[in-house]
Amino acid sequence: MSGPGKTTVVIGGASGIGLATARELLAHGHFVVIADIDGEAATARAAELGGTSEGASVDVSDEASVAALFDGVLERHGSFDGVVNCAGVSTLSLVVDHDVAEFRRVVDICLTGAFIVLKHAGSRVADGGSLVTLSSLNARQPGVGLVAYCSAKSGLEMLTQVTALELAGRKIRVNAVSPGLVVTPLTAPAMDIPGIKDDYIANTPLGRSGEPEEIAAAIRFLLSDDSRWITGENLDINGGAHMQRYPDIHGHVMKAFG
């Protein structure tokens, strides 16, 4: 059973991998709540996709906002079976130059926000449900200038495992997926900087970037009953990039802009 009759919340679903995931789940029979910090965009995407979907607003760094999202889903639908959290942000700075407030902003959204989502989803999702968080190749691979993002994503891997242990008694599975280079509206500006995309591809054994739809398919699998014996996993989806080195993004930016 892949999804017919299941209600799934996709946070960060108004664009990129989140939007591709919403499309994938709709195509496989889920009712999808597309939630995003841009609530208007989420509602617009739901209208465009049609079918069994609706839009909602949420700020993962605001606990009251996250709690209200899931309470609203329960009020409207009675229960929900899965959550996908794609919310994230990054920044670029060397450790010795890093603004502390900017470091905290990235960690607050990527790690603390994920904790808040798992806290409130975990207490409300139906027994036997599935929670999936979008992590990154940077959960295992360091990158110069990416200390905030790498730290957050590395922490997310352990957050996933601890939550999986704690929710296993209710047969709730908790997993993460870690994409390599996937060109989305979020990553597109960096890909326009000379050398960055070529460096990624050179360090990806399968020789290409990924597609949002490929990540979405893996997320759907982790939400489905086909993965019912998988929990606490961080699934690398990166064309083998985790076996090589991370691109020198900071070096390419400095070369381009000084």
Amino acid at 28: H
Element (H or E) spanning 128, and its range?
Answer: none
Q: Which residues does 134 contact at the CB level (< 8 Å), separation at least 6?
A: 12, 17, 18, 84, 85, 86, 87, 88, 176, 177, 179, 215, 219
Question: How far is the C-alpha of 249 from the C-alpha of 5, rounded, in Å?
Answer: 43
Q: Which residue bears the tokens 């229960």?
A: 79
Cα–Cα nearest to 181, from 158, 160, 198 = 198
Which runs of E-coded beta strand occur in the chain?
7-11, 31-36, 53-57, 82-85, 130-134, 173-179, 234-237
Out of 80, 149, 200, 246, the active site residue is 149
Question: How far is the C-alpha of 255 from the C-alpha of 258, rounded, in Å?
Answer: 6
Amino acid at 76: R
Is there a catalytic annotation at residue 246?
A: no
For the chain, how far is it from start to end, CA to CA, in angstroms? 53
Which residues are annotated as catalytic? 149
